[in-house]
A and B are shown apart, each in its own frame.
Chain A
Amino acid sequence: MLTQVLLQLTVVVTLMVLVSIAVFVGRYRLRDTRLEWRARVRAAAPVTALLAAVLLFNSVARQYGPDVSWMIHWNLTWPIYDVEGEFILWLQSFEAPAITAYFSFIYIYGYVFLLVFPVIAYFALSNTRPLRELLTAYTLNYVLGLGIYVFIVAYGPRNMMPELVDALLYDTYPQYQHLTRQVNRNTNVFPSLHTSLAATVTFLAFRTRAIYPKWFFLATGLGVSVAISTMYLGIHWAIDVAAGIVLAYICVVLAGVLVGRWSVTAWIATLRDSSTSRSTGSGTGTDTKPDADPNPGSSSGSSGSSGSEPNADAGTRDTTPSESEPETGSDPEPERA
């Protein structure tokens, strides 16, 4: 059952990603990626390793988290329900099979695509900063979101208002419950990580709108759809979604501040003498120089952490003139808007 759902998910998302690469990324960026991928991987390796470590830790901690949560027992279900009343009911009053199908698709497939595609799209840029910001923001989302989950126990609308809210996703498509159960608990509701990760992608798409203007529009559409889907499907409260958006904003701002602040490679260079056992460092530690190349322009600019948003755009433009110029000339897609 689970493998079947997973296979289906993989196939559909892969197709969506392939089409999107053709539409948004374009072949010139792919060509450059083929030449520069080693350097880009090296630049993104530390934060990728960090994200992987967080996800790994999450899968282990998930076994104990709920017990700790119940011990702390800060149950927010009632206060949330009491404050926001019947907004979810109003939203569900628009129920129609087509709408349910659309939002179910968005909740599962659209969401996964929304998280996966920007990783590839930003990897296709010579400037690795957007990629590193993206991965950092993902990591922050997980760390902060899961941290809040430990403290707050809350059930979603589908568990509170049985007679009124249909748990549309799991009743219409019960197979997806096997999937979502693998990655989440029914008491992990506040904030909505679905919303915060989707909003994170949307915010970053805004930052990079000069490079990927069309993607910005699609990401916005998908991001808003994901947020609505979590409520329409009775999984999250509006308050969870609002908190998710706030969390996303915090993560994006923090990512802007943090990325480029520390260079793992430089740090490793200082520790060269003693052979470090850190798995994150060992891969990149051997060649420090190449990694430093794409960095200096942007990292020096951002380490001052002045206004993150314009900085990101500026940084992107500063360091990419070499390949963005030919692109604007020949590739009709980017930078038009």
Chain B
Amino acid sequence: MSLPSNDVDTNTSPDANVNTDANVNTDADATTGYSRRSLLAASATGLSVAASGCIDRVQSVVDSDAAEQVSLSILSLPAADGDRETAEITRHLEANLEAVGIDATISTRSESEFLEAILIDHDFDLYVGRHPADFDPDFLYETLHSTYEYDQGWQNPFGFTDTLTIDRLLERQRTETGADRERTIATLLEGIAQEKPFEPICVSNEYRAVRTDRFDGWDENYLTTGNGYLGLESDASSDTEQLHALVTDQRLAQTFNPLSPTTHEQRVIVDLLYDSLAVPTWSVPDEAEATDEETRAGEEVIDAANVSIEPWLATDWEWDAQNRTMTVDIREDCTFHDHTDDGTDADGGDANGSESGIPLTAEDVAFTYRFLADTTYGRAASASPAPRYQGHVSAVDSVTVEDEYRFTISFSTDRAVAERALTVPILPAGPDSPWITHLESSVESADDDLSPTQGDWSIVRSNHAPPTGSGPYKYDSHDAGTSVTLTRFEDHFTLRDDDHDLPAPTADELHFEVDPGTSSSVERVANGDADITTTQLDTYALESTIDDDAVSFVESPSWSFYHIGFNTRSMPCGNTHFRRAVSQLVDKQWVAEEVFAAEDSARPVATPVAEEWVPDSLAWDDGELVTTFEGEDGELNVDAARELFASNFEYDDGALVW
């Protein structure tokens, strides 16, 4: 329904733009009552981004007397410079939507614009993309709970509300353990499979090209997290000062805000710059077996492994099941990175560094949890939760500081969810904290009361360079949109203390460079220009043959799932029957086999959690609640598929109308 003519009107002149915005918003508000958010966004920023969505909606409301063909715009990523698999699934879906009489269009966006539209503007009908997910099904709490209905950020981007069933199950599983929790989660997953706020399609392994001649030990750690870049073995005979990694998202070399919701794949860099109390740890099985086929391509394999939350900045914690409190001890004498004398303490300044750096204490931990729950830190009338980590911090009721290195966290959840909350990055408190400084200046410059737009105000959007964490690597420099360099933080406890077997930083410097495409990234690793492709590769790259023993593809298991996300705030995707029918237009089996080029690189799924949590009813092979494709081998059975829609919608001359 994105009519070019509308866009022309809004965009021909900047002056006209302002007027159109205003008109559109008034109209939309009067007729739909929905666009409260758009109104806020537009009035705050004056952008036509928000307005373009409104125009579409106004159009559909105005014409609603006459039956009109259902039209949907599918957000997707560019194929060659983004995610080829996402683009292909989108084309498959678009063709089948057209086949059942829906006017479907594909709106291709860059990665950050894609996330902006979904997470911040909520300006979409449906999209195809990847969800980061997690090893524990509790990520569904922040993804679907109705308390986040109006939030911007990773919490509930679908605007989904089901207070009677889903909300209660989401809450109940947080307070249970063992078999009880398993049962609740099974019921929850079945409920989600019925309601379909989103439809999971498949889970694909992650592949990265690495060189092993300069640094080795890549498969020891999980490369999706920062830990993958620690504890490497460097080859003494070659120049191993700088580890050269390739990323595709330019934002990674522009934005250094751990709270920014629209920076794609920032996890590795955030993990390296910031410590967390605990880290998820994957135990790697002893024998890494490689099949013939995989050795041919030079691949190494690690199996999907068990995950546990292991101490990192915390040395130990004690869980009091009675009161649901956790007493945590953290490592002593840790400091935040000191950026006051830029770059002088790279080598010889160890002693200096430890004296001048701000010490990390229990106060910083208490600050972090409170700040993530409310980025205005109580300075505004209403709380402004960060656009990330809400699942984590919502488990925390309060943090009580016992002494400098000991504190007690009081949780509203049981242990599994509580431990997951320990994985957020610890941010500095205190007068020198960039967060406090930013907050103070925001309060000062606000005319009367500070009333920032949740999830979209400057503190969660601005660059915050240099970023101040306490992690194993410290920000050194960046060339906007091109590269970012981190240096080893010599004072980090993994280098200093001996009482642990945690991985320590190996390379003196990590240099992340933006490289546009899968093919060129692989080539650069192949000819020795880079050590690893940090961004996961499109699977077609695995077909390329590289005659170099030092180059291999590392396969990592993943929970991240491809899915169709529906905007349940607006029709027709607000209708459950409609969402179910659309879900039956995607042949997941075909997608996993044909779209993902490497064999067994993806598996179709009916539910979005790690395999061990999948209930029998939603097992892909024979679960009775699995949504099936209306057709075979990727070919839609058009008549049968139209029947799915006909029960709730009407057809007029072959077009689905409403």
**For the complex, is A42 an interface residue (Cβ under 8 Å from B)?**
no
CA distance A175 to B523 in the complex (A): 8
Instruction: Tell me, yes or no, whether B359 is within 8 Å of chain A by CB.
Output: no
Contacts of B81 in A (CB 8 A): 159, 186
Residue-by-residue, is B550-567 near A (CB-CB < 8 Å gives 1, otherwise 0)?
000000000000000000
Whether, in the assembled complex, A30 has its beta carbon less than 8 Å from a beta carbon of chain B, the answer is no
Chief secondary structure at chain A's binding surface: helix
A171 within 8 A of B: yes
Distance to closest chain A CB from B544 (angstroms): 9
Contacts of B503 in A (CB 8 A): none
Smallest distance from the beta carbon of B56 to chain A beta carbons, Å?
A: 12
Contact of A73 among B8, B48, B480, B519 (CB under 8 A): B48
Instruction: State whether A75 and B520 are in contact (beta carbons under 8 Å apart), knowing that A160-B79, A161-B79 are contacts in the complex.
Output: no
Chain A residues near B595 (CB, 8 Å)?
163
C-alpha gap A95/B595 in the complex (Å)? 22
Q: Which residue of B lies closest to A77 (CB)?
A: B108
0/1 string, A174-192, CB within 8 A of B gives 1: 1101100100001100000
**B520:A175 contact, CB within 8 angstroms:** yes
A163, B78: Cα distance in complex, Å = 12
Complex CA–CA separation, A271 to B87 (angstroms):
59
Chain B residues contacting A178 (CB-CB under 8 Å) are 516, 520
Is there a chain A Cβ closer than 8 Å to B137's Cβ?
Answer: no
Question: Is A109 part of the binding interface, using a Cβ–Cβ cutoff of 8 Å?
Answer: no
Interface string of B528-561 (1 = CB under 8 A from A): 0100000000000000000000000000000000
Report Cα–Cα, A81/B595, bound state, in Å.
21
Closest beta carbon of chain B to A86's beta carbon, Å? 12
Measured between C-beta atoms, what is the minimum distance from B377 to chain A in Å? 29
Cβ of B519: which chain A residues have Cβ within 8 Å of it?
A: 170-171, 174, 177
- How far in angstroms is the closest Cβ of chain B from A96? 20
In the complex, what's the smallest C-beta–C-beta distance from B601 to chain A, in angstroms?
Answer: 16
Least Cβ distance of A150 to chain B in Å? 10
- Please count how many residues in chain A sit with their CB below 8 Å of the partner chain's CB atoms: 34
Q: Which residues from chain A contact B82 at a C-beta distance below 8 Å?
A: 159
Of A77, A81, A162, most buried by chain B (CB within 10 Å of CB) is A162
CB <8 Å contact, A181 and B91: no
A322 within 8 A of B: no
Number of residue pairs A-B, CB distance < 8 angstroms: 92
In the complex, the answer to whether A71 meets B79 with C-beta atoms within 8 Å is no
A1 at the interface (CB under 8 A from B): yes
Does any Cβ of A come within 8 Å of B107's Cβ? yes
Partner of A160, one of B48, B106, B523: B106
Instruction: Pick the residue among B4, B87, B107, B480 that contacts A159 (CB under 8 A).
Output: B87
Q: Are A162 and B516 in contact (CB under 8 A)?
A: no
A73 contacts B80, C-beta separation under 8 Å: no
- CB distance A187 to B110 under 8 Å? yes
Give CA–CA (A178, B529) in the complex, Å: 13
Q: In the complex, what residues of B have CB within 8 A of residue A75's CB?
A: 2, 107-109
Residues of B within 8 A of A72 (CB): 11, 48
A120 vs B79: C-alpha distance when bound (angstroms): 40
> Which residues of the other chain, B, contact A160 by a CB distance below 8 angstroms?
78-79, 87, 106, 108
Q: Which residues of the partner chain B approach A76 to less than 8 Å between Cβ atoms? A: 4
Residue A40, interface by CB 8 Å: no
A113 on interface, CB distance cutoff 8 Å = no
A192 to B8, CA, bound (A): 21
Interface residues, chain A, with chain B CB atoms under 8 Å away: 1, 63, 66, 70-79, 81-82, 151, 155, 158-163, 167, 170-171, 174-175, 177-178, 181, 186-187, 234
Q: List 14 A-B contacts (CB under 8 A).
A: A1-B524, A70-B49, A71-B47, A79-B4, A155-B78, A161-B91, A163-B88, A163-B595, A170-B517, A170-B520, A174-B520, A175-B520, A175-B523, A177-B517
Chain B residues near A (Cβ < 8 Å): 2, 4, 7-8, 11, 47-49, 52, 78-82, 84, 87-88, 91, 105-110, 113, 480-481, 516-517, 519-520, 522-524, 529, 595
